[in-house]
Amino acid sequence: MCINQKTAEVGGSMVKFRLLVISCVLMICCNDLFAQTTAPEPSQLPTAPYRLFATNNRWTFIKLDTVTGKMWQVQFDVQGDNRGSVVLNSQDLTSAKEDSPGRFTLYPTSNMYTFILVDQIDGRTWQVQWAMDKENRLVLPIY
């Protein structure tokens, strides 16, 4: 084998290697683009009196009164008349002397129907479960 033939083989291998690397990089980039199937959460003012929290159900949100801890399950519909809201918690969870916007917030859990409600002033917590059926909705204190 002559030197020119060996050089050509090495050069051809380098071209193949570069094409392989470029192909892998493009696949990773494209995969990341297609992996984003949900829209990012809109930014919300943490001290707003009311906030919406997304659930893993695209049609259902939880509306939180951040001053009192009152909550509603809010459902929208684009084709029918399945839109509305139902009460999750109608009880004021504060003492009247310490009402402030942003006091309460919700944290999602790995269970799509369950959130943790936190009083950010005194640290109290509640398990919040939303559901389509009334008997499965609950707000329970966590001691």
Confidence of residue 79 (pLDDT cuts 50, 70, 90): confident
Close Cβ partners of 107 (under 8 Å, ≥ 6 residues apart): 115, 116, 118
Close Cβ partners of 92 (under 8 Å, ≥ 6 residues apart): 68, 69, 70
Question: CA-CA distance, 46 to 36, in Å (whole number)?
Answer: 25
For position 6, what pLDDT does the model report?
A: 52
For the ranges 21-25, 38-42, 72-76, which has the lowest average pLDDT?
38-42
CA distances for 139 relative to 15, 67, 115, 128, angstroms: 63, 17, 10, 5
For position 80, what pLDDT does the model report?
A: 81
Question: CA-CA distance, 65 to 85, in Å (whole number)?
Answer: 14
Question: CA-CA distance, 109 to 5, in Å (whole number)?
Answer: 63
User: What are the residue ranges spanned by the domains of the chain?
Assistant: 1-37, 50-142
CA distances for 30 relative to 38, 40, 79, 135, angstroms: 16, 18, 32, 44
For position 36, what pLDDT does the model report?
A: 45
Share of the chain above pLDDT 90, in %: 59
Each residue of 15-36: pLDDT tens digit? 777 766 666 565 655 555 444 4
Average pLDDT over residues 61-67: 97
More confident: 5 or 83: 83
Each residue of 94-140: pLDDT tens digit? 976 778 999 999 999 999 999 999 999 999 999 999 999 999 999 99
Quickly count: other Cβ atoms within 10 Å of residue 71's Cβ. Answer: 27
The mean of the pLDDT values for the chain is: 83
For position 85, what pLDDT does the model report?
A: 95
pTM for the full predicted model: 0.70
* 64 closest CA partner among 111, 110, 128: 128
Read off the tokens for 81.
Answer: 């008349």
Question: CA-CA distance, 64 to 72, in Å (whole number)?
Answer: 7
